[in-house]
Amino acid sequence: MNPYQQKWIEVLRSANIPHWTIEAQDENIYVEMPHVTDLKLIRDNLPSTLGAMSLDIDEPKARLKFIFHNGYETFEYILNPNNKDLNEE
């Protein structure tokens, strides 16, 4: 686990969101939420929420994929995408 990933996990866990499991999955962060969680609402607000939370992170930025799952659906969000991410079709 890289320091940037570790710090994000610490920041997310410190938010104390009930019934969310936040863990490292390879070089990614996997977030399991209750099945009643509205993923569209999470997805729509994620950029601004992560932006606000990033103010507490002093580690050098690195590519980091967040994988959100509510028991039914999954979506991914890449923070600090690399060229490969940006050029995928």
For residue 61, how many C-alpha atoms fall within 13 Å in the half-sphere facing its CB? 8
pLDDT band for position 87 (50/70/90)? Answer: confident
Is residue 8 a part of any domain in this protein? yes
Buried b (16+ CB within 10 A) or exposed e, 44-62: eebeeebeeeeeeeeeeee
The band of 11, judged by pLDDT with boundaries at 50, 70 and 90, is very high
Q: Is residue 28 part of a domain?
A: no
pLDDT over 90 at 1, yes or no: no
For the chain, the domain total comes to 1
Domain that holds residue 53: 3-17+38-87
Residue 27 domain flag? no
Q: Is residue 82 part of a domain?
A: yes
Residue 47 covered by a domain: yes
With respect to residue 54, please indicate whether it lies within any of the assigned structural domains: yes
Whether residue 70 lies inside any domain: the answer is: yes
CA distance 34 to 18: 9
Q: Which residue has the higher pLDDT, 83 or 23?
A: 23
On whether residue 30 sits in a domain, the answer given is no
